[in-house]
Structure 1
Amino acid sequence: MASSLASIQFTPTPASFPSLAPRLRFKAPSNIPVNHDPLNPITFLLRAALVYPNKLALAHPDTPNPVAYTFSIWAQRTQNLAYALLKAGLNHGDRVAVIAPNTPLIADAHYGVLAARGILVPINTRLKPHEVAYILEHSGASIILVDYEYKHLVGSTKARVIVSNDTGRAGDPYEEFLTQGRAYSNERGWQGLEAEPDENTGAVLCYTSGTTGRPKGVITTLRGSYLAAIGNAFEGQINKTSTYLWILPMFHASGWTYPWANVFAFATQITLRTVNFTHIWNHLIHSGVTHYCGAPTVQIGIINDPLARKLPPSRPVTAIIAGAAPTAHLIAELEKKGIKPVHVYGLTETYGPFTRNYEQDAWANLSLDERSRFMARQGHAFATAGEVRVVFQSENSDVLEDVPADGKTLGEIVTRGNIVMKEYFNDPAATSKAFKGGSFRTGDLAVIHPDGSVAIMDRSKDIIISGGENASSLAIEQELASHPHVLEVSVVARNHIKWGERPMAFVTLHPQHTSKWKGRHHEFEKDLKAHAKPRLPGFACPEWVEVVPELPKTSTGKILKTELRKVVAKL
C-alpha cells in the first residue's frame, strides 16, 4: 500500500468480515447449458476476492472518517447490501436509486444492487430537487441510498430511504443497514443469492443530461456492462499494479463502467468526494496513482494547480479523456507533467467510451501541433464494441449509407453491438428513433479518414450555418485554443443580419496572462481574431469574442453550450 494510504487507521464493522473460506459464487441458475455462463460484472469482485483477498481494493482517505477495504471485505459488504435490499422487499427488476458523490456507498451499489437482481439508478448530485423528483418518479425507484450531504434532494417520497453518513463505522445508518443484511443472510453467503440467468436483463438505468428536454432513462444490461468494463480495462492498460483515482463521478454513465473495469483488473481504487486539486496532486505524488478519467476542463484544472509538478518517469500516469477533444496545448502540458493523455469517445447510451484514439508509431516524429491534430480524432472502436461508422443522414429512409473515407464528407456517427444500450426506459418511440436503420444514431457529426479513424466535427445542433457554409464549432475551438493565452474556449452561433449565423467565442484566459489583458479585452479580441485568420476559413472566424471569468459546466466538466446560447439570445 502506498504511503498516503498506509496511514489509514480503520477497522471495518464486524459484519464486514467474511466467514472462513467463503464460497465466492452464486447459486447456479437452473436450465443453463454447461457451455454457457451468463455474463455479469458481479463475478469480477468474487474473482478478485478469491485471487487477491487481502489486496487493497477501495480506499476513501480524504474525509473525517477514512476507510479502506480489501477485496475479501468489500465482497462481504456488497453481499450484505444485497441481502439488506432483499430484506427491504426488493424484487427482481426493481430499481434502487443512489445519490452520492464518489464514496464507498456508490461503489458498493454497483455490486450489491446487481447481486440482489435489482437495477441501479445512479443520480447526478448536481441536479435540483425537482429534477431528482422527476427521475425518482420516472424510474419507479422503490429504495433510495443517499449520502448525508444530499438528503435534501430526496424530498417527500414513498420509497424507503437509507442514509449513509460516510463513516464506515458502527452507528452509521448505512452500516446498520448492511449489518441487518448480514443477519438476514443467516450465513447462507453467496450461495443464498441466485445468479441472474438472463445476461441481457437490465443492470443500470442512467439518465441523460436532458439539455433538450426531459432526461431520458438509458437501460444498459449485465452483458453490456461486463464487456464494456473489460474493454475499458484493456484499452486503458489497467492491471493488478494499477491505482485508479476517482475524479470522474461514478453517477455519470456508471463512471464509464470503471467501477467494474478496475475490479476486473484487480486494481486499487481511491475515491474522492469532490474534485479537489490539492487532494488529486497529493495522490498523484504520494499514492502511486496510475490512472484517472476526466473531461478536458478537469485536466486543465489539474495542470494549472499550484501543486502541479513533473511526475517521475518511473511511474507514468494515464489520463483518459472524453467529453471533448484535448487541445494541442493541453496535450503538451499533460505530457510535461508526465501524464499520458488517452483520448476516448462515447455517450451514456454506449456505456461511456466505445472508441479510442490509437496512437500510431509514425506520430513520434511529428511536431506537437501535428501530433495533436491526430490525437484529437475519436479514432476506432474498442475491442469489445461494434464497428464505428459515419453515415449519410436520411429522415425518410432506414438505409444507412457510409460516407466516403476522405476526411471531408460530413455524416453521423452510428454504431451497434455489444456495448450499445438496451433501450430508453419506458420510451419506445425514442428507442425506435435512436435505432432507426439498425444502428444507434449518436447525433454527432463527423468525418472518416482513409485510415478508418473517425473525427467528430460537431453535434448536429452545434453546427453553425454561416452564409450557407457549415462551420464546426469544435474545429473553431481547436484553433482558438492554440492561442497561447487561451485557457478554455467555447463557440456558439449568434444571429447575423447578412450571414444568418456567425460564430461567437467565449474565452477564459490563462491565469498568468490575465493581468496583461485586464481592461483591454477589446485588444485581446483583435489579437485572437488575427490568430484565427490564417487558421480558419473566413466564415468560421469568430465575429465576436467575449472574455469571461469562467464557462458554465456540468458536474462532469462539460461546457454547457445551452447556457451560452441563452446569453447570446439576449444580445
Structure 2
Amino acid sequence: MSDKYTNGLGKVAANHQALTPVNFLKRTAQLHPQRKAIIYGTESFTYTEFQDNVYRLASALRKRGVKKGTTVTIMAANIPAFLDAHFAVPMIGAVLNSLNTRLDAANLAFILDHAETDVLLVDTYYLDVMQQAVSLSTRKPMIIDIVDHECLDGRLMGEIEYKDLLAEGSPEPFDHLIEDEWDAMALNYTSGTTGNPKGVVYSHRGAYLNAMGNNMIWPLGENSVYLWTLPMFHCNGWCFPWTITAVGGTHVCLRQVEVNAIVDAMADNQVTHFCGAPIVLNMILNAPTELTQKLPRNIKAMTAGAPPPAAVIKGMEAMGFDITQGYGLTEVYGPCVVSQWKDEWNELGDDERAALKARQGIRYPTQEDCDVLDPETMLPVPCDAETIGEIMFRGNTTMKGYLKNEATTEESFEHGWFHSGDLAVKHPDGYIEIRDRSKDIIISGGENISSVEVEGVLYRHPAIMEAAVVARADEKWGETPCAFVGLKPGQSATEEEIIEFCRNEMARFKCPKTIIFAELPKTSTGKIQKFILREKVKNMFSLDKSA
C-alpha cells in the first residue's frame, strides 16, 4: 500500500549505494595521499601506493577472468599483500577466502574443494603445506606466488609471482562492482564439533558495519599506529583491515608473532594499538624486563578468542597497557561484544578493575541484539550473575550462513537467533560473562580445536580403546586439549608416545598436551560423561587464581 512517503521516493543512485568497506580506502587515499598506510620491516607504502596496488591487483584479476562470485583464496602471514587482497578481491565482486596458516594439508585441501577455489595466492613461506594441499585437492586453481623477501629460498609453485601480477594491472581508479550489499564478500572456515570445517559467509553490509563498530567501541584516529599481531585470517582480522584504513591509521605488518619482534615493532614504530588472543598478552607479560622496558606506555590492546585471566589483565595494565576485552565468534564477524569501561569504576582497586574487565560485556552498537537466553524457553535469564543460559545474537553483523550447509544454517538460526553454543550469566548491569561452553570446542591461543577431531585421531592409535578430550586451563594458551584414554587389554603406551602419534596425524596445535590414563565415566547408555572429566581436570590442574 502506497502513501506520501513512498510515492516518487524510491531508491536511486543519488540516495542509495551499497554499503561496503572497500570504499574506505578511496576516501583515505584522497584525504591523506602521502601518509604511511603500511609499514613492513624496512618497507613502507603511502596511502596512494596502497591504493595503486589494490587497483592493480583488482584489474589484473579481472583480466584473468575473476568475476562476481569467484572464490579467491589466500594463504599468507600478516604481510602487505594480505591487506591488498582485503580490498581488491571484494572490490570486483569476488569472495576472499583466508586460510588458517596453522592447518594441516588435509584440512586445507578440504577447504579448497568446498570453497571451489579458482585463484590461490600463496605466501611462499607456506609453500610445503600448500603443495601438499593442492595435490590432495580436486581443484586446479590459478596459483600466484607471494615471494616475501624474508623467506625466499628459490622455490615456487605458481604460474606467476605477485609483483608480476600487479604489473599486469592498472593503477587507474574505478568504482567498485558491488551492486547489492548483501552479496558475499568473504568466506572464513571454522571448525565445528564434528571436526569438519564450516564455511562462514560474510556480506559487504555486515563487514562494513562491524568495521565501523570497532571504532565506536575502541576509538582509533588518524594518528593511530596498529600492530598486526592478530592473524588477518581470523575473521578477516576482526574487520580491522577496513577499520584502520577508514580512520587513516598506519598498519604495521608483522610476519612472526614472537615477543622480541612484537616489542621491537612496538618500540620502533611507536605503536598505539594492537589486537590479539590472551596468549599474546601473556607472552608480553612474561618477557624479560630488559626487553619490555623498551615498550611505549599507554598502548591500547583489544583481546578476545578465549576469556583472559584477570591476573593477565592486571599484569598488563601494571606495565602501562590499556586492555579492552571483546567477545564474539567467526559467525558474528569476530568480536561484537565488548567489556566497555565505565568512568565510575576508575576508583576501584586493581583486582576489582581486572575482574570487571575480564567479563565479556555488552553488544556493539552495530549488532542489534545479544542476550543470554534459556535455550528451552527462549526467554532472557535474570541479571543475577548466577542463572546460566546460552549467548545468542541477531542483527546485521551476523553471518549470511554456512556455505552449502542449509541444514546447519537453519539449526543455528532457530527461533530467529544465532545460537553461539557458549553458556554465560548476566550481571546486574547487563554485562555477560561466559561460564562454560555447550559445545566441546577447545580455544587454544585463539584457535578453535574440535575435541571430536582429536578423539578421532586418538582412536586410531593401536593401543587405545577409548578416548575423550576436554579443555585444560593453560596460562600461556588459554586452553589446551587434555585427553583421557583407556588402553586395550594387554596393550601399553606412554604419554610421550601418544602425543608424538598425534603430532604425526594432525596439525600440532590441535594435539593434546596432557594424557591421562583412566577408566572413562559413562552413562547407562554408554555415553562418556565429559562434565565429570572437566571437573576432574579442573581439580587436578587448577591455575592459581590469586596470581
TM range (shorter): 0.7 to 0.9
Aligned match of 1:37: 17
Q: Cα distance, 1:46 vs. partner?
A: 0.4
1:365 and 2:347 are equivalent in the alignment: yes
Given candidates 173, 178, 185, the residue that maps to 1:190 is: 173
Q: 1:405 to 1:268 in 2, by over 3 A?
A: same
Residue 103 of structure 1 corresponds to 79
Q: Counterparts of 1:260-275 in structure 2 under 5 Å? A: 260-275=242-257
1:230 to 187, 204, 212: 212
Once the two structures are TM-superposed, the CA of residue 190 in structure 1 deviates from its matched residue by 2.6
Q: Which of 197, 208, 214 in structure 2 is aligned with 1:215?
A: 197
* TM-fit CA distance, 1:493: 8.6
Tell me the CA shift for residue 194 of structure 1. 4.8
Name the SS of the counterpart of 1:281 in structure 2.
helix
Q: Distance in 2 between matches of 1:331 and 1:48?
A: 34
Q: Distance in 1 between matches of 2:173 and 2:83?
A: 19
Mapped to 1, the partners of 2:369 and 2:211 lie a distance apart of 17
Question: Does structure 1 residue 545 correspond to structure 2 residue 523?
Answer: no
Checking the alignment, whether the CA contact within 8 Å between 1:415 and 1:440 is kept in structure 2 is: yes
Determine if contact 1:308/1:337 at 8 Å carries over to the other structure. no
Secondary structure of 2:430 counterpart: coil
Question: Residue 414 of structure 2 aligns with which residue?
Answer: 436
Q: CA deviation at 1:221?
A: 0.5
Tell me: CA distance 1:311–1:325, structure 2 relative to 1, closer, same or farther (3 Å): farther
Runs ≥4 residues deviating over 4 A: 310-313, 486-496
Q: Which deviations, in whole Å up to 9, do the C-alpha atoms of 1:192-211 show, x marking residues without a partner? A: x5531101100100000345
In terms of mean alpha carbon deviation, does 434-443 or 318-327 score higher? 318-327
Please tell me the residue identity of whatever aligns with 2:261.
H
Q: How does 1:88-99 map to 2 (within 5 A)?
A: 88-99=64-75
Cα distance in 1 between the residues matched to 2:53 and 2:15? 31
The percentage of counterpart residues that share the same residue type is: 37
Q: Partner of 2:283: helix, strand, or coil?
A: helix
Q: Which residue number corresponds to residue 313 of structure 2?
A: 331
Pair 56,491 (structure 1): closer, same or farther in 2 beyond 3 Å: closer
8 Å Cα contact 1:105-1:166 kept in structure 2: no
Q: Matches of 1:135 and 1:540 in 2, distance apart? A: 36
Equivalent residue for 1:53? Answer: 33
The aligned residue for residue 309 of structure 1 is 292
* Equivalence for 2:281: 299
Q: How many residues of Structure 1 are paired with residues of Structure 2 in the alignment?
A: 446
Q: 2:161 aligns with which of 173, 196, 210?
A: 173
| CA distance 1:377–1:84, shift in 2 (3 Å) | same
Contact kept? 1:446, 1:456, Cα under 8 Å:
yes
Residue aligning to 1:70: 46
Q: CA deviation at 1:365?
A: 2.6
- 1:456 paired with 2:430, answer no
The offset of 1:490, in angstroms, is: 4.3
2:406 is aligned with 1:424 = no
Q: Structure 2 CA distance, aligned partners of 1:164 and 1:338?
A: 37
Over 3 Å counting, the alpha-carbon distance change for 1:317 and 1:180 in structure 2 is same
Whether the 8 Å CA contact 1:242–1:291 is kept in 2: the answer is yes
Q: Would the aligned equivalents of 1:233 and 1:264 in 2 still touch at CA under 8 Å?
A: no
Distance apart, 1:278 and its partner CA? 1.1
Deviation at 1:446, TM superposition (A): 0.5
Matched with 2:525 is none
2:56 is the counterpart of 1:85: no
Are the aligned partners of 1:310 and 1:336 in contact in 2 as well (CA < 8 Å)?
no
CA distance in 2, matches of 1:312, 1:104: 24
**Residues 310 and 338 of structure 1 are in contact (CA less than 8 Å); yes or no, is this contact kept in structure 2?**
no
Alignment gaps of 5+ in structure 2: 1-10, 443-469, 486-534
- Seen in structure 2, the aligned counterparts of structure 1 residues 88 and 389 have a Cα distance that, compared at 3 Å, is same
Q: Tell me: CA distance 1:279–1:541, structure 2 relative to 1, closer, same or farther (3 Å).
A: closer
Deviation at 1:435, TM superposition (A): 0.4
Match of 2:515 in 1: none
Mapped contact 2:283–2:476 kept (Cα < 8 A):
no
2:97, 2:306 → 1: CA distance?
Answer: 25
TM-score, normalised with respect to structure 1: 0.73
| In 1: Cα distance, 2:144 partner to 2:295 partner | 43
Q: Does the 8 Å CA contact 2:72/2:117 hold for their aligned counterparts?
A: yes
Note the C-alpha offset of 1:439.
1.0
1:12 maps to what in 2? none
Cα distance between partner residues in 1 of 2:482 and 2:439: 10
Deviation at 1:112, TM superposition (A): 0.7
User: Distance in 1 between the 2:300 and 2:281 partners?
Assistant: 12
Match of 1:112 in 2: 88
How much has 1:487 moved relative to structure 2?
Answer: 6.0
SS for the counterpart of 2:274 is strand
2:428 matches 1:446: no
CA distance in 2, matches of 1:261, 1:400: 34
RMSD: 2.9
Question: After the TM superposition, which residues 130-169 of structure 1 pair with which residues of structure 2 at under 5 Å, given as runs?
Answer: 130-152=106-128, 153-154=130-131, 155-156=134-135, 157-167=139-149
Distance 1:489 1:268 in 2: 29
Q: Which moved more, 1:91-100 or 1:300-309?
A: 300-309
